[in-house]
Chains A and B, each alone.
Chain A
Amino acid sequence: MLTKRIIPCLDIKNGRTVKGVNFVNLRDAGDPVELAKIYADEGADELVFLDISATEERRKTLQKLVLDVAAQVDIPFTVGGGISSTEDVDRLLQAGADKVSINSAAVKRPELINELASKFGNQCIVVAIDAKNVDGEWIVHLVGGKVPTDIKLFDWAKEVEKRGAGEILFTSMDNDGTKDGFANEALAKLSEIVNIPIIASGGAGNMTHFKDTFVNGKADAALAASVFHFKEIGIPELKQNLKANGINVRL
């Protein structure tokens, strides 16, 4: 049976992890490759690297990082952040990334999804969607949730599926950083209206939140950052806990 996936997310700036990593047994807390290896050994099912650098060197640095990760890590990983062309994607996949995640570029030019899906196959195209509940309506936001659009989440989800996205990574801006749990109602609706896997993101605070997003939110995978980076939740314990609660996970 296909298992539910646990995905740690690493924020990358100029080839280093940022946004706080406090990890025991890590020689260098900023080295994404070392952190990735630890997560893979602990039983993470996939990894996401989100590049937030804004330097001119970013392309080369990111490509080098992808190459280093692919050389040393034996589980799949997705790379996102600032990807806006088929050339960008080609470089990253050539370097060994399994999937790429696109966000703002897809909102600005939705045809990009079609182009990427037909060139590389929809299985490697993840469309990341950041949304916020505004007066009872889920609205897509850009630039890490800072800039609202006039696009409704559920309309956009259907459109990205139609255009060839292989997966949707949904981050609720309302839940992100709260540690109060994932946006399960919106997630469950996403799973009903599209027929591609949904990754839940934003709000993980304890192990029950993961169970809830798989059961109530019908999510196929759950992504989190700080609870893993600060060792608040260990991946082996989390997966044991989920298993004990009847969730099918890889052990």
Chain B
Amino acid sequence: MKVVIINYGAGNIQSIKFALQRLGVEAILSNNVEEIRNADKVIFPGVGEASSAMKKLKESQLDAIIPTLTQPVLGICLGMQLMCNTSEEGNTKGLGIFDTDVVRFSENVKVPQIGWNTIQNLESPLFANVRENEYMYLVHSYYAKKSSEMIAESTYDINYASALQKDNFYGVQFHPEKSSKAGSKLLENFLKL
């Protein structure tokens, strides 16, 4: 199986590569359009700031390519947020794959949210053999609002979408590569899609 991790200079890519390695998959880091198109699975990572990440995507024209992909695509953390319509972080447009918006947590809670939170109402083959209320590791200041494409929700400040799915596109706010056995299970499920 050929798994490509989109390399656009954002995020902790090494950890995702290692997590896949622990599942016996040697992923390729690439920003090459052909290579991405020909992959069986694509992972779209991201840690950092939304508007500058969008800028980087545009520079390599990946902003136009990603929404046209037809194989399973998994956005992680900022990757998922960039797949939404807009983000309040740097007031940027997103890729518009998921029909929802990304906004900042209120001052009622400590921001960023850092740590292990539970995920509920799991609704996707992505969560096969992942139990309701499983703990996942999250680090973020912005969240995707609930929408009809939500396949998992979490609570911090409010209820928000901690995972989204539309057709072949999947997005998770948490870091499966850092979420111990449950996270590894989710990555394994993604590879089986």
Instruction: Give A contacts to B, CB under 8 Å.
Output: 1-5, 40, 45-46, 67, 70-72, 74-76, 93-98, 118, 120-124, 166-167, 195-197, 220-221, 250
Contacts and interface: CB of A to CB of B under 8 A. Distances in A.
A60 B179 CA distance: 27
B12 A93 contact: yes
Given A123-B139, A250-B135, A75 B114 contact: no
A100 to B, nearest CB: 12
18 contacts: A2-B113, A2-B138, A3-B115, A3-B117, A70-B18, A74-B177, A75-B178, A76-B175, A96-B12, A98-B15, A121-B49, A122-B141, A123-B140, A123-B141, A166-B112, A195-B111, A196-B110, A221-B115
B18 A197 contact: no
Interface stretch (B122-130, B144-152, B180-188): B180-188
Interface string B38-56: 0000000001110000000
Contact of B116 (A5, A167, A197): A5
A3 B21 contact: no
Given A221-B115, A250-B116, A250-B135, A74 B181 contact: yes
A94 B22 contact: no
Contacts of A70: 14-15, 18
Contacts of B111: 195-196
Contact of B117 (A1, A71, A74, A123): A1
Given A71-B21, A76-B178, A121-B47, 16 more contacts: A2-B138, A3-B115, A3-B116, A5-B116, A70-B18, A74-B177, A95-B14, A96-B12, A96-B14, A96-B15, A120-B48, A123-B114, A123-B139, A166-B114, A195-B111, A196-B112
B137 interface: yes
B180 A75 contact: yes
B114 A220 contact: yes
Contacts of B116: 2-3, 5, 45, 250
Contact of A94 (B14, B156, B180, B183): B14
A56 B120 CA distance: 49
A98 B110 contact: no
B180 A40 contact: yes
User: Is chain B's interface secondary structure helix, strand, loop, or mixed overall?
Assistant: mixed
B107 interface: yes
Interface centre among A4, A72, A121 (most CB of B within 10 A): A121
A74 B184 contact: yes
B156 to A, nearest CB: 6
Nearest to B117: A2
Interface in B153-193: 155-156, 175, 177-181, 183-184
A74 B180 contact: yes
Given A40-B180, A121-B47, A5 B115 contact: yes
A75 B184 CA distance: 11
A197 B107 contact: no
A188 to B, nearest CB: 14
Contacts of A121: 47-49
Nearest to A191: B110
Contact of A74 (B14, B22, B138, B140): B22
Most buried by A among B15, B140, B177: B15
B74 interface: no
A242 to B, nearest CB: 13
A239 to B, nearest CB: 11
Contacts of B112: 122-123, 166-167, 196-197
B19 interface: yes
In the complex, which of the residues B107, B118, B155 has the most CB atoms of chain A within 10 Å of its own CB atom?
Answer: B118
A123 B139 CA distance: 6
A7 to B, nearest CB: 10
Nearest to A96: B14
B137 A195 contact: no
A221 B155 CA distance: 19
A93 B115 CA distance: 18
Contacts of A167: 112, 114
